[in-house]
Amino acid sequence: MVLRVSATSCLSATAFRSFTKWSFKSSQFHGESLDSSVSPILIPGVHVFHCPDVVGIVAKLSDCIAAKGGNILGYDVFVPENKNVFYSRSEFIFDPVKWPRSRMNKDFQTIAQKFSALSSVVRVPSLDPKYKIALLLSKQDHCLVEMLHKWQDGKLPVDITCVISNHERAPNTHIMRFLQRHGISYHYLPTTDQNKIEEEIFELVKDTDFLVLARYMQLLSGNFLKGYGKDVINIHHGLLPSFKGRNPVKQAFDAGVKLIGATTHFVTEELDSGPIIEQMVERVSHRDNLRSFVQKSEDLEKKCLMKAIKSYCELRVLPYGTQKTVVF
């Protein structure tokens, strides 16, 4: 159940149910207060909250924003049936002189302590540092190209620290020239069945906020995922569960399917079983040849991955149990 509520609404509660230990560690950011004595125009902020469901959560969060002169533009609430857990996401505008960024953190933290919150994250895009990410890919580069172009156009609110691949690319290709022009390093790390080069990868990505597997056809081990300790987002070539192994698109084509899809999900130790963030589908028919089939599949993958990353950066994605997500 998803509710859109007013700033004065309250939600009733039932007994507290212990929640999963899984959390989005990479959503922890610390902003800085604005060093200015002149009030600028109002700027937007986003806050997400996850706690046991009790009476008065919405009222308390709304009062916190209003008391500092902020104005709520949108408020989403989700209370699962018979789960006794509360999720919310608010978009608001505020004056950073009247409500400094550091003070905002403390105010929301006070509410988090009052309601024993499992997660309370606030983000002010114009003041907070952008997410630092690394991209991993193999031979196919359609997702990488899409991300680079969106990033260049300012539609991807991240800093791309590096691109890592187990396939070498010629220096005079469009991708390599683009990366060199924008100062993004490219690391060719060939892998074998016996050596996945995970130590080298870890050294390159350990300071990032999350990773994106943009068609990286290698498995990341449980040891790597635990050592990294932050979110890893993967784009999968179909609706999970789906065709597995080599040439999955050709498998689907040969099977004569009428719908193709793409799935973006969080990476876990179990292959292709992480919580799903986004899925997209498109119809195909007997009139499609393998070439048009592949093109439609790649287009879906690009769109699905970009939408998932955008949702993640906008704090729209929250854990729901061990295998699900809430996406506002």
Amino acid, res. 69:
G
Cβ neighbours, 10 Å, residue 170: 7
Q: What is the 3-state secondary structure (H, E, C) of 41-73?
A: CCEEEEEEEEEECCCCHHHHHHHHHHHCCCEEE
CA atoms lying within 13 Å on the CB side of residue 27:
23
Write out the two tokens for 111. 């509410």
Q: Is 318 helix (H, G, I), strand (E, B) or coil?
A: strand
Q: Are the C-beta atoms of residues 239 and 276 closer than 8 Å to each other? A: no
Strand runs labelled E in 28-166:
43-52, 71-78, 85-94, 119-123, 131-137, 158-165
Q: Which of 76, 128, 272, 288 is catalytic?
A: 272
Q: Is 214 helix (H, G, I), strand (E, B) or coil?
A: coil
C-alpha to C-alpha distances, 206 to 2, 129, 202, 210, 287, nearest whole angstrom: 36, 17, 5, 9, 47
Please state whether 256 falls in left (phi above 0), alpha (psi between -120 and 50) or beta: left
Helix or strand holding residue 263 (H, E): strand 259-266
Pick the closest to residue 51 from 147, 121, 4 (CA basis).
Answer: 121
Rounded to an integer, what distance in angstroms lies between the CA atom of residue 44 and that of residue 41? 10
Strand 259-266 and strand 276-283: pairing? antiparallel
- Partnered with residue 86 across adjacent β-strands are 51
Catalytic residue list contains 53:
no
- Looking at the annotation, which residues are catalytic? 272
